[in-house]
Amino acid sequence: MKIYCAKHGGFCFGVTRAIKTALDAAKEGKAVYSLGPLIHNRIAVEDLRKKGIITVDTIGEIKNKKVIIRSHGIHPDILKKLKKKNFEIIDATCPRVRRAQRYVEKLIKEGYYVIIVGEKDHPEVKGLLGYAGNKADIYSDQLKLKKRRVGVVPQTTLDIEHFNQVVSNLMGNVLEMKIYNTICHETILRIKEALHIAKKADLMIVVGGKNSANTTRLYQICKKYKRAYHIESVDEISPAWFADVKSIGITAGASTPNKQVQDVVKYLRKMFPK
Amino acid sequence: MKIYCAKHGGFCFGVTRAIKTALDAAKEGKAVYSLGPLIHNRIAVEDLRKKGIITVDTIGEIKNKKVIIRSHGIHPDILKKLKKKNFEIIDATCPRVRRAQRYVEKLIKEGYYVIIVGEKDHPEVKGLLGYAGNKADIYSDQLKLKKRRVGVVPQTTLDIEHFNQVVSNLMGNVLEMKIYNTICHETILRIKEALHIAKKADLMIVVGGKNSANTTRLYQICKKYKRAYHIESVDEISPAWFADVKSIGITAGASTPNKQVQDVVKYLRKMFPK
């Protein structure tokens, strides 16, 4: 069995940085609270909990006023609230997300009607919307353009092909469009490599949290080309998948610990020793 | 025989306006000189010549200092030269082209690296390049981007699908892209309707000058879907084209006089009375 494992799968720069920041802060002894999971990976979050990084849903649940801002960033209103209440704030916003937030702010100041392209319930998108003073719209096929002068910012983990399609859809109805292409370079490499592997392998396995938007998207892209499975761990792998299969491709989302990917590789290598 | 004739083919707003302006000016008795053909249609230009609108290639050939600027606009350096020499200038630049020129100027002032999307030898594109102080680049597949902050302006008669493809090609390599979508609404309607007809007719006839860029493009778009012919006049029509043909689609470029289109319709109606 030939196994192709993506080099550009697994933890991205922003996630690696956020975890390191959280662990460093937790080493001081006091628990660190995260509003929502620090990363969208159930197993990794459970592991972090053991190391003093606690996931909560609301500010009220934070017992020691020590809070970390996730790599996805945060809505500025929540940030203000935390500051007002004198919380100790550890900011692990990915610098690439921070840059997107600044661009959204800038476009609003310049009078553009701002459109954010991404998942409307994703924390990054909610944060971007906040930096637009909640005046932006999230792109959807049903969106009715309000103005002919439009500013466009994509979620950092968006598929660039999807983004190009959105820009094309908008083009016929705009006179001026100012785009900040904030799609992270790692996202582009990850999807490009996944597509490359999906084209040559007989079957694709995408490793990562079922609650991870970018992993789910990676899975959807792969399954356009080949039979594909989105798994969180090796327990979900079924030997029945591999009948008539001569090669397997493996990739992972930006929030998937490298260990989880390596576990899958090892498991498959054991199943197919050569 | 079913004949579908496009409503959105033939003289566009800018061309109609330029011809009216030229004829009005010629009525005063003095010949009006045009640097290059007033429109890209051999037959119409010959007709205009009889009415006192003379095509020349260089300023030196203008005998009475009376010159018309074509709907495509002109390079600002040539305009300056004409003004310096005290020419009587009749400006028939299409207002939609003039708008594109102003956007190019604005993007240069704002420090963008400007890319013009269109035919490099087209007078409109040459004019736009002039308004960029000759600092812009014309898009080509081989273009190496110089900066990550890019301003993009298309030729007013560009196919929007082609423009979207160019924007997509650029996207992966830019951080900021400011687009002025100067594609004329009539262009969009013309191409959209031609495509609609090409899909249902058995054969397409595209009427207009062989030297007309937008007519040639219209022909190329049609022939992606059906057998198509680009003709300047009915003399080129061959009965052999219509074996096994039950329906014919007819469209025309922005520089095609409506009479030429109607001549084709009449000719075919005579050939196929029902």
Angle at alpha carbon of residue B70, lines to B230 and B36, rounded to 5°: 70
User: Could you write out the three-class secondary structure of chain A?
Assistant: CEEEECCCCCCCHHHHHHHHHHHHHHCCCCCEEEECCCCCCHHHHHHHHHCCEEEECCHHHCCCCEEEECCCCCCHHHHHHHHHCCCEEEECCCHHHHHHHHHHHHHHHCCCEEEEECCCCCHHHHHHHHHCCCCCEECCCCCCCCCCEEEEEECCCCCHHHHHHHHHHHHCCCCEEEEECCCCHHHHHHHHHHHHHHHHCCEEEEECCCCCHHHHHHHHHHHCCCEEEEECCHHHCCHHHHCCCCEEEEEECCCCCHHHHHHHHHHHHHHCCC
Q: State the pLDDT at residue A134.
A: 87
Residue A274 has pLDDT above 80, yes or no: no
Give the residue numbers of B marked as catalytic.
124
Distance from CA of A119 to the nearest CA of B (A): 20
**Contact between chains at A180 and B181 (C-beta distance less than 8 A):** no
**Contact between chains at A180 and B175 (C-beta distance less than 8 A):** yes
Catalytic residue among A61, A88, A119, A124: A124
Q: State the pLDDT at residue B29.
A: 86
Residue B274 has pLDDT above 80, yes or no: no
What burial letters (b/e) apply to A193-231, b meaning 16+ CB within 10 Å?
bbbebbeebebbbbbbbeebbbbbbbbebbeebbebbbb
Distance from CA of A163 to the nearest CA of B (A): 9
Q: What is the pLDDT of residues A146-174, one digit of tens each?
A: 889 999 999 999 999 999 999 999 999 99
Q: What is the pLDDT of residues A183-235, one digit of tens each?
A: 999 999 999 999 999 999 999 999 999 999 999 999 999 999 999 999 999 99
The domain segmentation of chain A, as residue ranges, is 2-10+187-271, 13-94, 96-185
* Torsion of Cα atoms, A5 then A7 then A10 then A15, to 10°: 180
Q: State the pLDDT at residue B12.
A: 93
Question: Is some CB atom of chain A closer than 8 A to the CB atom of B163?
Answer: yes
**Contact between chains at B179 and A181 (C-beta distance less than 8 A):** no
**Contact between chains at A177 and B172 (C-beta distance less than 8 A):** no
Instruction: Indicate the class that CATH gives domain B96-185.
Output: alpha beta
Question: Is some CB atom of chain A closer than 8 A to the CB atom of B145?
Answer: no
Question: Is some CB atom of chain B closer than 8 A to the CB atom of A162?
Answer: no
> Which residues of B contribute to the annotated binding site?
12, 40, 72, 94, 122, 156, 184, 212, 214, 255
Domain range A13-94, its CATH number among 3.40.640.10, 3.30.750.24, 3.40.50.11270, 3.90.25.10: 3.40.50.11270
What is the distance of C-alpha B52 from the center of its chain? 23
> Which residues of A contribute to the annotated binding site for isopentenyl diphosphate?
40, 72, 122, 212, 214, 255
Q: Which of B179, B188, B190, B192 to mutate to test the interface with A (most CBs of A within 10 A)?
A: B179
Q: Which residue of B167, B178, B188 is in closest CB contact with A178?
A: B178
Are the beta carbons of B156 and B183 closer than 8 angstroms? yes
Q: Do domains B2-10+187-271 and B96-185 have the same CATH topology?
A: yes
> Which residues of A contribute to the annotated binding site for dimethylallyl diphosphate?
40, 72, 122, 212, 214, 255
**Contact between chains at A179 and B177 (C-beta distance less than 8 A):** yes
φ, ψ of residue B155 in degrees (nearest 5): -60, 145
Using only the alpha carbons of chain B, give its radius of gyration: 20
Q: State the pLDDT at residue B146.
A: 85
**Contact between chains at B171 and A164 (C-beta distance less than 8 A):** yes
Structure tokens at B185: 């609404």
- Give the list of residues 6+ apart from residue B4 with CB closer than 8 angstroms, or none: B197, B200, B201, B247, B248, B249, B250
**Contact between chains at A176 and B179 (C-beta distance less than 8 A):** yes
Residues 30-89 of B with CB under 8 A from A: none
Q: What is the pLDDT of residues A15-32, one digit of tens each?
A: 999 999 999 999 988 999
- Bridge-based pairing state of the strands A176-180 and B176-180: antiparallel
Q: How many CB pairs under 8 A join A and B?
A: 52
Q: What is the pLDDT of residues B137-177, one digit of tens each?
A: 999 999 998 889 999 999 999 999 999 999 999 999 999 99
Question: pTM value?
Answer: 0.92
CATH architecture of B2-10+187-271: 3-Layer(aba) Sandwich (3.40)
Look over chain B and give the mean of its residue pLDDT values, rounded to a whole number: 96
